Amino acid sequence: MTAANASGDSSPVDAVRNGSRPVQELESVTIRFAGDSGDGMQLAGTQFTNTSAILGNDISTLPDFPAEIRAPAGTLAGVSGFQVHFSSSEIFTPGDRLNTLVAMNPAALKTNLRDLEDGGILLVNTDGFGTSDLVKANYKVNPLEDGSLKNYRLVKVAINKLNKEAVKEVKLSPREVDRCKNFFALGLVCWLYERPLEPTLKWIREKFGKNPAVMEANTLTLKAGYNYGDTVELLPVHYRVPKAKIAPGTYRKITGNEAMALGLVAATQLAKKQMLYATYPITPASDILHQLADMKRYGVKTMQAEDEIAAVGMAIGASFGGAVGVTGTSGPGVCLKSEAIGLAVMTELPLVIIDVQRGGPSTGLPTKTEQADLLQAMFGRNGECPVPILAPQSPSDCFDMVYEAVRIATRFMTPVFVLSDGYLANGAEPWAIPKIDSLPKIEIKHITTPNSTDGQTHENGAGEPGKYLPYKRDELLARPWAVPGTPGLEHRIGGLEKQDITGNISYDSANHEHMIHTRAKKVENIALTIPDLTVSGPEEGDLLVIGWGGTHGSLYTAVQRAQRKGYKVAHAHLRYLNPMPKNTGEVLARYKKVLVPELNCGQLLMLLRSKYLVPAEGLNKVQGKPFLVSEIEAKIEQLLAAS
Amino acid sequence: MSTTSLPTLTAKDLTTDQEVRWCPGCGDYSILAQMKKALTTVGIPREQMVFISGIGCSSRFPYYMNTYGFHTIHGRAPTIASGLRLVRPDLQVWVVTGDGDGLSIGGNHLVHAIRRNMDLKILLFNNEIYGLTKGQYSPTSRLGTKTKSTPQGSLDNPIRPLSLAIGAEATFVARTIDIDVAHMTATLQRAAAHKGTAFVEIYQNCKIFNDGVYEYATDKSVKADNVLYLEHGKPMIFGKDRNKGIRLNGLKPEVVELGNGITADDLIIHDEAADEPTLAYLLSRMVYPEFPECVGVFRAIQQPTYESLLDDQVQGVIKAKGPGKIEDLFKAEDIWVVE
């Protein structure tokens, strides 16, 4: 069962006494830390998440920050938020509604209040609500005083003053003192939800070890926040979310971008291949570069190129040299890389292209999530130019899918797209660390001797023994990969159409058509090596909800809820979008209706309708935000009520 | 001590079975022939040689060399060559480009490839015209060049390829001429031997769209007065009668006649190894008809290559922390165990 619908619900044991304080047990809780970009909300949220994960909760997070590094302080544009959902049961989304909102200033209150549930805890920093702060957030009257917050459990704390008091013994500039206040707030929330401080104290020691004053101040204010909650009885109760029942194993917290980096290193190391990650910084993909640049111990080479085009060119050059070339970017970068991706299709070289999708078109919404690059990945090149497409469905699934991308790219000699998105890239969840020997084997063989056989009747010497034929294919239509430095296999490749088998330039019309079909068939053959599409729920029924990518958690949770209400509805999620699993059409046909929720205007919907001729219907949202579970749920009920 | 004999290559070993499709009389034929000749002496086997090109007439070059080759996309050859170089320091990598490919659509990559000083040998075939698209002006066409796309004459100032390369801190910069076969062979051999980015501009005649653009530098009757052969450590003398030279007047080079009190001692002594590229830059700006145009090696200095610095970083980290195991990488963050 999932807990998302139980967020904030109290357990039957309402309030048990723990020492002198009543403690209420909850199944799951969603908290958002919101403040100015400079307030350290991302850090406070991350530390709270780590602590909850180590404590044994299931977790899912949603960071939400502005594109500007420092929008003017205190303004609505500068608000940065970090949402964490933690639970004693398995969860798949960062939560629809907030049980607790921490608002460090009026702007944070104004932009986040709509997500707080009625009766939710609203913890505000009263020191952030001065006259000028209120003006910057367009408040005419102070919302803390006009009664407009009466539906919430308002908790007012003078965080700036209390923080200042807590660190007064430490010699710091006023600015440095102010920068500690996020840890006071974190300490307070840790008290509220019975989280131990030790993981954060350890982090403070490691992070600020070289700066004892800052280390001391953060330690003091974190503890002061916790103790303040305890001493003043901030709320009549505090809360506990017990450990989740999670499969045995060793876990860590992982974001999509971290998983992407680890998956690349694991796949290439186990394949005994050098990897080159060549890229150009772009939000929200840059963290993959940052991760990999710091993994030189593992033989990883990274290259920050002069532009997106150079980055993909370098990756292709590395693959030509027998390494695994990888490039990571977001939608605008894919536009620039398109011509080179066509070259990799034509020359049939391995290449992994990670597209961490963001809101578009053009520069769009750099820090917000969207799934609107599917058709770009599918068709965004000149000519008939098929490229395999994979899409991870959760942050940790980025590990598996990028690993799979390396396998497919090297097995089939083709570029492969991995479509992540801003939500997966920055969101975090627990990851069961895999055992190395449980990971799929990737065996890469480079041809070292000529592959022509006497008696073949191809022109241009294809039949002579002792020749290397770069486009002589195997049973799945993949071509051999001969790398420079191999004696006797000297050959030339390029973007011009090539004669079948020999690879010589050919402008012959029949040959061109044959090669177009051959390259397409090769990509289709990938379906012979991937798992079938599975459904969660009834094998046939009234409705199939099918999606792809980062919406998995919301779709899955919504379908689970509908199933509990007795609807005959199932969920399927496509991790392979080109080619799709062999049985996709058959699965679609087993349901009376098909719903395709997407964070775009209907791109998978278009592919499914055109390929399988199903009267599928879309549920589309393009607001730079993930689906709420309730949005999907409502649509499911609407569709089934109409039937 | 053991000795290994150097591989002996002939020009024929480097010839492919592909029909060469340049126009009759194209300067590229000569460059292809001199390249094969030069490579017979560099002492590495052909499987370790890679030719990478972009788009344009010059970029067909790899198809005619029996080495490894990659005919890529317009302007991007330096990027593909750089990626190859980063993972394969054992290969000798040549980039073949033209004035359109290298300086127009690919100008950005050329600048960055040069400044990184990767061990790439970049040959820019400069014919001051677009050939494959049938005769539009190029970034090196002289001001006022009349072509199909500029019927009243071109309006933009030409790029001086060597000035650009020197501005991008090139460690090896040279120029040669398609029909000057001995000079070209020697220049290509110098480029092959250079450790770092070697940038060579080759004056190349386009028989069809820009015939005779370098006549002043190739016509035997006038060439000695219009071309100055650079020699390291030697005074800059030129002319049919070896009676002219280049002298520095402040920061300005000037042509002087020897005699009447002016001797070789007054002339610039060419120093290709100078740390500062100022002199090389001045020479790159000498343009016919005001000056003889210099050919030969303008600059040749040693600097660490990008790929060797990267390898040093990788090895340095491995030395300091030990080689990484994936198991450790997975557990580099806080972990917890669920029983």
Any alpha helices (H) in chain B, and if so which ranges? 27-39, 77-87, 99-100, 107-116, 161-167, 181-193, 215-218, 223-226, 278-284, 306-321, 326-330
Residue A5 within any structural domain of the chain: no
Q: How far is A203 from chain B (nearest CA, A)?
A: 10
Per-residue pLDDT at A156: 96
CATH number at residue A142: 3.40.920.10
Tell whether the model's pLDDT for residue B2 goes beyond 70. no
- Closest Cα to residue A291, out of A268, A264, A314? A264
Per-residue pLDDT at A68: 77
Question: What whole-number distance in Å separates Cα of residue A97 and Cα of residue A94?
Answer: 9
Q: What is the domain count for chain B?
A: 1
Q: Convert A20-40 to b/e letters by CB count within 10 Å (16 or more is b).
A: ebeebbbbbbbbbbbbbbbbb
Task: Say if B309 is an interface residue toward chain A (CB within 8 Å).
Answer: no
Across chain B, what does the average pLDDT equal? Answer: 95
Residue B118 within any structural domain of the chain: yes
Left if phi > 0, otherwise alpha if psi is -120 to 50, otherwise beta: which for A137?
A: alpha
The verdict on a CB contact (< 8 Å) between A297 and B318 is: yes
Residue B106 within any structural domain of the chain: yes
Question: What whole-number distance in Å separates Cα of residue A294 and Cα of residue B326?
Answer: 14
- Closest Cα to residue A219, out of A230, A204, A199? A204
- Closest Cα to residue B96, out of B46, B42, B35? B35
Residue B208 within any structural domain of the chain: yes
| Same domain? A164 vs A123 | no
| Closest by Cβ to A297, choosing from B310, B321, B338 | B321
* Interface with B, mutate which of A90, A253, A306 (most B CBs under 10 A): A306
Q: Compute the average pLDDT of residues A215-228.
A: 96
CATH number at residue B111: 3.40.50.970
| Closest by Cβ to B338, choosing from A251, A310, A505 | A251
Confidence band, pLDDT 50/70/90 cuts, at residue A626: very high
| Closest by Cβ to A491, choosing from B48, B68, B330 | B68
Task: Say if A466 is an interface residue toward chain B (CB within 8 Å).
Answer: no
| Peptide bond between residue B289 and the one before it cis (omega within 30 degrees of 0) | yes
Per-residue pLDDT at A61: 93
Nearest CA in chain B to A504: B18
Per-residue pLDDT at A456: 55
Residue A60 within any structural domain of the chain: yes
For B85-126, write each residue's pLDDT tens digit. Answer: 999 999 999 999 999 999 999 999 999 999 999 999 999 999
Residue A246 within any structural domain of the chain: no
| Same domain? A71 vs A206 | no
Nearest CA in chain A to B20: A505
Task: Say if B68 is an interface residue toward chain A (CB within 8 Å).
Answer: yes
| Same domain? A452 vs A405 | no
On chain B, the residues whose CB falls within 8 A of the CB of A347 are 70
Residue A481 within any structural domain of the chain: yes
CATH number at residue A578: 3.40.50.920
The verdict on a CB contact (< 8 Å) between B335 and A251 is: yes
Nearest CA in chain B to A319: B84
For A87-130, write each residue's pLDDT tens digit. Answer: 999 999 999 999 999 999 999 999 999 999 999 999 999 999 99
A607 is in which domain, residue-wise? Answer: 541-642
Q: Compute the average pLDDT of residues B259-273.
A: 96
Which helix (H) or strand (E) segment holds residue A331: the answer is: helix A331-347
Per-residue pLDDT at A488: 94
| Same domain? A462 vs A381 | no
Tell whether the model's pLDDT for residue A85 goes beyond 90. yes
On chain A, the residues whose CB falls within 8 A of the CB of B335 are 250-252, 433
Residue B260 within any structural domain of the chain: no
Q: How far is B314 from chain A (nearest CA, A)?
A: 5
Residue A247 within any structural domain of the chain: no
Q: Compute the average pLDDT of residues A261-277.
A: 97
Task: Say if B82 is an interface residue toward chain A (CB within 8 Å).
Answer: yes
Question: Using an 8 Å Cβ cutoff, are B99 and B128 in contact?
Answer: yes
Tell whether the model's pLDDT for residue A20 goes beyond 60. no
Residue A125 within any structural domain of the chain: yes
| Same domain? A389 vs A259 | yes
Instruction: Quickly list DSSP for A562-617.
Output: HHHTT--EEEEEESEEESPPTTHHHHHHTEEEEEEEESSSSHHHHHHHHHH----E
A:B CB pairs within 8 Å: 203
Residue A487 within any structural domain of the chain: yes
| Same domain? A391 vs A306 | yes
Q: Compute the average pLDDT of residues A556-562.
A: 96
For A308-348, write each residue's pLDDT tens digit. Answer: 999 999 999 999 999 999 999 999 999 999 999 999 999 99
For A563-602, write each residue's pLDDT tens digit. Answer: 999 999 999 999 999 999 999 999 999 999 999 999 999 9
The verdict on a CB contact (< 8 Å) between A493 and B339 is: no
Q: What is the domain count for chain A?
A: 5
| Same domain? A116 vs A169 | no
Q: Among the three residues A128, A157, A186, which one is the final residue of a domain in this structure?
A: A157
Question: Using an 8 Å Cβ cutoff, are A516 and A338 in contact?
Answer: no
Sheet holding A324-329, edge to edge: A301-304, A275-279, A324-329, A351-357, A415-421, A389-390, A576-578
* Interface with A, mutate which of B48, B318, B334 (most A CBs under 10 A): B334
B194 is in which domain, residue-wise? Answer: 11-213
Per-residue pLDDT at A2: 33
On chain B, the residues whose CB falls within 8 A of the CB of A305 are 79, 112
- Closest Cα to residue A31, out of A225, A190, A235, A230? A190
Task: Say if B116 is an interface residue toward chain A (CB within 8 Å).
Answer: no
